[in-house]
Amino acid sequence: MERDPSLAHQPLSACQESPSRCNRMTESKAHTRLGLLIACNALMNFDDTAALHPRILDHLTDAVLLFDLSYRLVYINLAGEVLFAVSARQVLGMRAKEIFLLYDKTIEKDLKRALGHGESLTKRNLALELPSQMITVNLTVAPILDQDKPVAGLVQIEQVDRHLRISMEEQIMAQQNAARMLLRGLAHEIKNPLGGLRGAAQLLDRELADEELREYTKIIMEESDRLQLLVDRMLAPNKPPRKSRLNIHRVLERVRQLVQVEAPAGVVIERDYDPSIPLINGDNDQLIQAILNIVRNAAQAVGQKGRIIIRTRVQRHASIGYRCNRIAAKIDIIDDGPGIKPELLGQIFYPMVTGRADGTGLGLSIAQSLINQHGGLVECSSSPGNTVFSVFLPLEKDHE
């Protein structure tokens, strides 16, 4: 019998001892080969090869820009449009120095050098100040050669801090899961004796004739109920989301109305909505609760007078933990309060962590848990006068 080449490196005795293992390995190899054959066949059968190249470039997470010999833009991929917050129609035909005016004023010198010498050059850890944020990138300029002659200049922009952000998101999700498991174990240990304590106080209350003494048993029962409610809130949410198609802006409007009624007259809540965001699949009540917790937190931060902005945008190539989503909804809650202390910033999604004397430290933890159940994530950045909570909700079909 001819032996499977994929198992040639294994001793025959291993296959004799565990034939099921060998069968599984053979099947796995066969599936891999079949997948490669299907992919190659699909590419070979693709009628318009020229149309395939832009599709490949549009699926890259790095921004790619192509300039002709006069330094005018002839192509920009989807990641480039997202990075510069422009559409291809707006910038095609523009000079490189016009596009990079606010970011890198030496871009045309770099293109000239790369085209003149026929060699690529890279700038590492370059700070680009975008309209909404400051990012760190590696910028590579390379010549496109035809018969050893330059015909175009290629600019590739790799966002370095994106990798740091992915790592931070994974850490947030891991911390949230660890905290949730710890709380469930702790709640179980608290609730059992708490029920016995309240029951004993209830029985004692019935036996006591002295009204003054019964006041003490009432205090025990009331405090037991309060602790029971606190434990239940720490465990929330304990129900899976009941998802349906909904408009995220209706959720945000409901939250805005609730907070505006509660907030002092000096607190202004502004809206900046992107009407192009499609319907999402989510639990209406849970999403209201999650975002309400965040907006209430912002209202408490600004005090008697301040401004809160609720902003929505479509985010392309949005990473949520280890997963890169082709498209997601991004909801920013921005306030001009004093900001969050740096030592608390990495812990604010933990239960019982708060910067206010009268705070429970549960609102943001619950908000993170509810958004996690929708496949999303809550992030925070803060400086005095500018605190931003960003809620990411995936819009792809496999989350529906």
Mean pLDDT, the chain, rounded, equals 79
pLDDT band at 237 (very low <50, low <70, confident <90, very high): low
% of the chain at pLDDT higher than 90: 28
199 Rama sector, left if φ>0, alpha if ψ -120 to 50, beta otherwise:
alpha
Which of 264, 277, 250, 256 minimizes the C-alpha distance to 395?
277
Q: Provide the CA 396 distance to its chain's centre, in angstroms.
A: 14
Residues 270-326 have pLDDT tens digits of 999 999 999 999 999 999 999 999 999 999 999 899 999 999 999 877 777 667 778
For domain 244-399, say whether CATH 3.30.565.10 is its number.
yes
**Of residues 202 and 331, more confidently modeled:** 331
Which of 372, 192, 213 minimizes the C-alpha distance to 286?
372
pLDDT band at 17 (very low <50, low <70, confident <90, very high): very low
Residue 8 has pLDDT above 70, yes or no: no
Q: What is the pLDDT of residue 20?
A: 45
Residues 151-183 have pLDDT tens digits of 999 999 988 776 666 666 667 667 666 766 776
Say which CATH superfamily domain 51-161 falls into: PAS domain (3.30.450.20)
User: Domain residue spans in the chain?
Assistant: 5-45, 51-161, 164-235, 244-399
Q: What is the pLDDT of residue 176?
A: 66
% of the chain at pLDDT higher than 70: 73
Q: Which of 31-45, 64-78, 126-140, 229-243 has the highest mean pLDDT?
A: 64-78
**Of residues 180 and 265, more confidently modeled:** 265
Lowest mean pLDDT among 15-24, 109-118, 241-250, 350-359: 15-24
